[in-house]
Structure 1
Amino acid sequence: MKAIIRSIILAVIGSLAFVSLAEAQVTVTGVISDSNRLVLPYAGVVNLTTGKRAFSDQGGFYKIAAGLNDKIVITFVGYLPDTIVATQSSGTQTINVILEPESRFLREVEVTTQYTPYQLDSIARREQYGYLLNLPNKPLAGGNTPEGAGVVFSPITRFSKKERQKRQFKENYEKMEREKYIDSRFTPVLVSRVTGLKGDSLLMFMKDNYPDYGTMRAIGNNDLLYWITDRYKAWIKK
C-alpha cells in the first residue's frame, strides 16, 4: 500500500511540475522604432506560437506574454517585418526592435499574370494585415446617430485603448496604400526617362514634385508623361 501511495504522490508531483513548466511565461517587452530612432506607435506584435496579439503604444512600447523559444513577429505598415525569439522562461525580457523601411519605389518589371506589381504587393499586404483590417469598428454611443451630430462617444468603445490603436492602424494602412500606388506609377525609371535626370538631381526633383493620390488615379499613362514634362520645365527654371 505504501508503495502505491508513493507512486501516486510522485505521479502527482510530476504532473504538477509538468503543468508548471508548460504554463511558465515571460513578459517580452521593449520599444519598437526605425533606423532613424523614430518610435513606431500601433505596431503589430504577434506571438506566432500562441497566436496572442498586441500593439505598441504611442511611445512605441510593447508588451506580450510568451513561453521559452516562442517566436514573435513585429509588423508596421511601410516597414519590413522582424521576428524575435523569447529566450527566457519567466520574468521579463527586454528586446528593443528596429524595423527597416521597405523600398520606397516598387519594381517596374512586368509580370506575366493578370496583376500589376503594385497589385501583387497590395494583395500580399492585405493578407498580412487582414486579421486586423477585417475587424469592424465598434459602434459609437447613440446607436446610428451620425458622427459629428453632437453625440457623446462611449469611453469604453471608440476611446478604449485597443479601439484607438485599431483605428489608427487602419488610417496608417490606408495612407500607405495610397503612397504605394503613387510610387508604382511615379517611378525613378520613368521620371529619368522623361527628364534625363539621374542621381541626387532625380531624387530631388521627385521629392519636390511628388504627386497627390487623386492626380495619379485621374490621369492615364500618356497624360502622366506630359504631367512630368510640365513639372520638369517649371522645376529647372527655379
Structure 2
Amino acid sequence: MKLQPIAATLILILATITVNAQNKLKGTVYEGSGNTRLPEVFVHDLTNKQMTLTDKNGNFEITAASGHLVVFSAPTYTADTVYITDLSPKKIRLTPQGIRLNTVNISGTRKAFDPEAEYPEVYEKSKVYPLSPSSWFSREGRNARRLKKYFKREVQEREIDRAFNPKFVSSVVPLKGEDLENFMTLYRPKYDDIKNNDQQSLTIYINDSYKKYQTLPPEKRRPQRLNE
C-alpha cells in the first residue's frame, strides 16, 4: 500500500525533528560551585560555528555532536572549553574572576572587536523581512537577534575597558591592588559616560566616585557576587 503524500510528508518532518533533537546539546551554567545560575553566557561551538546564549535561568541548547569543542564565556568569569564526548545534559561551572589588574591590556593597542566581521552569519540570520513570517518568529532568527544585542554590549564593554583602565584610574586616585580592583568594579562607568572619549570628564567622574568610596564602611567597599 502506498503512503498518501500528506502521511509521507509528516513522517519526513518527524524524522527530521528526531535527527535534530539528537544533535542538540543542552545544559545549565552555574557560578562556581554554588547553585547560582548565570544568564547571558556566550556558548560557542568552535567545531560547527554554532552560537547561542544562556537564558534567564542559565539554560542553553545548541546544535553539537561528540568530538566538538564548546566554549562558555561571560564577562568577569574565566572561560571554560568543554570537549563533548556525548550529548547528555551538561552542568557547566564558570569561576568568577576579578579585573585581573596584571593582565588587563592598558596600551590601547588591542585589536578592536568587530562582531559583524567575525560572525557575519549572526547578522544575516538576525534580519527581518516583512514578507517572511519565519524571519520574525523562527527560533534561529530570535537567537541571532539576541546574539546581535549581546555583541553590541560586548563592543561597548571593551570601549569602557580601554578608557577606564587600571593605569589611568590609579593615576587619578591613590589606590592599588585589591582596593583598586574593588573601586573599579563598584564605580565602573556606563558606556554613555565614556563614548565621547573625554578624558577630563572621566577624571572628574573618578574623583567624585572616589569621594563616595571613601565614605563607605570597609565591608561595603567590596563588590558582592551573585551567590552572596
| TM-score (norm. length: structure 1) | 0.59
1:186-225 equivalent positions in 2, closer than 5 A: 186-225=164-203
Equivalence for 2:82 = 84
**Deviation of 1:206 (Å):** 2.7
CA 1:171–1:94 in 2, change beyond 3 Å: closer, same or farther?
same
**Deviation of 1:182 (Å):** 0.8
CA 1:224–1:47 in 2, change beyond 3 Å: closer, same or farther?
closer
Q: Gaps spanning 5+ residues in structure 2: where?
A: 1-21, 217-228
**Selected match of 1:137 from 91, 104, 127:** 127
Question: Superposition RMSD on alpha carbons, in Å?
Answer: 3.8
- For 1:224 and 1:97, how far apart are their aligned partners in 2? 38
Structure 2 letter corresponding to 1:191 = V
**Selected match of 2:50 from 48, 53, 72:** 53
**Selected match of 1:98 from 80, 93, 110:** 93
Equivalence for 1:117 = 109
* 2:66 corresponds to 1:64: no
Q: Gaps spanning 5+ residues in structure 1: where?
A: 1-25, 111-115, 144-153
CA 1:77–1:158 in 2, change beyond 3 Å: closer, same or farther?
farther
- For 1:39 and 1:227, how far apart are their aligned partners in 2? 30
1:158 counterpart SS class: helix
Aligned residues of 2:41 and 2:74 also touching (Cα < 8 A): no
Structure 1 stretches of at least 4 aligned residues deviating more than 6 Å after TM superposition: none
**Deviation of 1:209 (Å):** 2.8
Structure 2 letter corresponding to 1:209 = Y
- For 2:181 and 2:174, how far apart are their aligned partners in 1? 12
* 2:219 corresponds to 1:227: no
* 2:98 corresponds to 1:107: no
- For 1:196 and 1:223, how far apart are their aligned partners in 2? 19
CA 1:53–1:223 in 2, change beyond 3 Å: closer, same or farther?
closer
CA 1:157–1:220 in 2, change beyond 3 Å: closer, same or farther?
same
**Deviation of 1:222 (Å):** 4.2
- For 1:122 and 1:38, how far apart are their aligned partners in 2? 27
Count of aligned residue pairs for this structure pair: 189
| Deviation per residue, 1:191-226 (Å, 9 max, x gap) | 222110234543443344322212212243344334
Q: Decide which structure has the larger Cα Rg and report it.
A: 1
* 2:145 corresponds to 1:167: yes
**Selected match of 2:71 from 68, 71, 74:** 74
| Deviation per residue, 1:4-55 (Å, 9 max, x gap) | xxxxxxxxxxxxxxxxxxxxxx64633141434424457444261xx37364
Structure 2 letter corresponding to 1:64 = T
Aligned residues of 2:46 and 2:70 also touching (Cα < 8 A): yes
Percentage identity across paired residues of the two chains: 20
- For 2:187 and 2:89, how far apart are their aligned partners in 1? 42
1:169-188 equivalent positions in 2, closer than 5 A: 169-188=147-166
